[in-house]
Structure 1
C-alpha cells in the first residue's frame, strides 16, 4: 500500500462487487477518498467501511440505480455536498445477458443499454462538467473486448460495450482542451458475478477459463494508469492481440470467432 492517491477523490460506479469493488479498495489502499455508487446498500456500506479502514480517509456510499436518471441526479447533488473536486471517475456499473438476439426479451435489451450506456453517459456528463471547471481529472470507462470482437449470443451486450468505446473516443477529444483525460478499459472475461446473470448454464465460463482475469489484477492495472495519457487498456494480452487481428482480417476473424470464441 502507498499514499500515491492521498488527498485524491475517486468515484466508482458498480462498486458493490466485481471490478468496481476491487477498484474502490485498490484506490483506498493508496490513500484515496472514495465515493462509491451501487444498488445494494448492505454490500456498498461494507465496502465503504473497508475502504475507510484501508485509507483512513473518508469513504462515501450512495445507493444509486444507474438505469434511473432521477437517482443519478439525486446522487450527484449529494456528491457535490461532500466534495467540490473529483480527480478520477471509474465507470464500472454494467451487466450482460447472453442469448440469441432474435429470442431475447426486449426489456433485457433496453435495461442493458440503460445501465451500460445511457446511465454511464449521463453520470459522466455531470462529473465531466466538474472536471472541465477544475481543468483536470480523468474518466475511466469500462468497455469490453466483446465491444471489439464479435461472438455469437452477445449481440446486445457487445453493442452496448461498442457504444461505450466509441463514446469514450469522442469524449477524449472533446475534453482534451480542458485538461481532462479519458481512458477505456476493455477486459475479456473476469471472475465476477457477471456470469451469474450472463451465463446461467455455465458453459461459457468453462470454455474461457484460460482467458479469465482476476478482478483485483484488473483493478491494479486500472489504478496504475491513473493520471496517465493512456487511451485504452485491453486485457488480457492474448485477447487484445485477437482484437487487433480481427480489425486487420475481419473475414478470417469471423470464421475463427464462430469456431473458437462463441462457445456459449
Structure 2
C-alpha cells in the first residue's frame, strides 16, 4: 500500500499499538496526525518520527472519551487543512472485574471510547475517502471480540461491536477504493494492563510492532479481508470458539479470565 505523501490519523498514538502504527505508516511515507490525551508523549513521539523518517507529524491533544470529541477532532483537522487518507481507530481501554462491582462511570467510559468515538470518527472521515476513491480505515478490535468474556463483559462486548461494525463496513465499501480492516490482537506488550489490571493478562504477549505488521500485510492485499486476528494462538481460538457449545465456551473463558485473580 503506497502511502507516500498521504496523511494518517492515529488515535491512542502516545504508546503501544498506536505508536507502532505511527512508526510503520511514517516508514511508508505517510504524514501523521497523532491523537491522544498525553501531550508530552505525543510531542516526544512526533519529534522521534520526524527525525527518523522526515515526515510531518501533527500533535492533537484530545480526550475521545468525552461526548462530542469525534466532531471536535474533525473540526480541528479541517481548520488545519488536513485531509485524512488513513484512519487508525486505536484508542480504547478495558477493565477487569464483575459488572456489579465496577464503577458505572468506568463502564460508560469504555462504551463511549471503544464504540461511540470509533463510530463517530469513522463516519466523519469516511465520506471524503469514498469521494477520493482511496483511503484506509483500521479499527482495532480484540481477540476478546470473538466470544463473551466474563469479568471483562463490557470490554469484550465493545470489541464485538467493533468487529461486527468493521466487517459490515468492509462490505459496504469494497468497491469504493477504501480499504477497511478490523485488527484483533490478543495480549500485547502495551500499557493496556496498567489500566485493566494484571489479572486481565491471558496468554503469551506479542509486541506491538508484530501486531501492526500483521495489519500492514493485510492492507497490502488489494482484495484483503475485512478482519484479521494477530498471533497464531489467537487465530486458532477465534476459528474454533464458534464450534463449541455456547455454555462450554463461556465456562472455559470465565475460568481463563479469573485465573490470575
Query: TM > 0.5 between the two?
Result: yes
Q: Secondary structure at the match of 2:174?
A: helix
* Equivalent-residue separation in structure 2 for 1:142 and 1:9 (angstroms): 19
Structure 2: gaps spanning 5 or more residues: none
* Equivalent-residue separation in structure 2 for 1:49 and 1:197 (angstroms): 26
Q: Is the 8 A contact 1:85 1:134 kept in 2?
A: no
* Equivalent-residue separation in structure 2 for 1:29 and 1:112 (angstroms): 31
* Equivalent-residue separation in structure 2 for 1:262 and 1:203 (angstroms): 7
**1:221 paired residue number:** 214
**1:240 paired residue number:** 235
**1:254 paired residue number:** 250
**1:39 paired residue number:** 37
* Equivalent-residue separation in structure 1 for 2:255 and 2:104 (angstroms): 28
Deviation at 1:227, TM superposition (A): 4.4
Query: Which residues of 2 match residues 193-212 of structure 1 at below 5 A?
Result: 193-199=191-197, 202-205=198-201, 208=202, 210-212=203-205
Alignment TM-score, normalising by the size of structure 2: 0.91
* Equivalent-residue separation in structure 2 for 1:198 and 1:16 (angstroms): 17
Q: 1:77 aligns with which of 72, 75, 78?
A: 75
Alignment TM-score, normalising by the size of structure 1: 0.90
Deviation at 1:8, TM superposition (A): 2.1
Root mean square deviation, CA, Å:
2.0
Structure 1: gaps spanning 5 or more residues: none
Q: 1:7 aligns with which of 5, 8, 17?
A: 5
**1:180 paired residue number:** 178
User: In the TM superposition, what whole-angstrom CA distance separates every residue of 1:98-156 from its partner, at most 9, and x where no partner exists?
Assistant: 10112222111100000000001001111112112111111100111111133320101
How many residues align? The count is 257
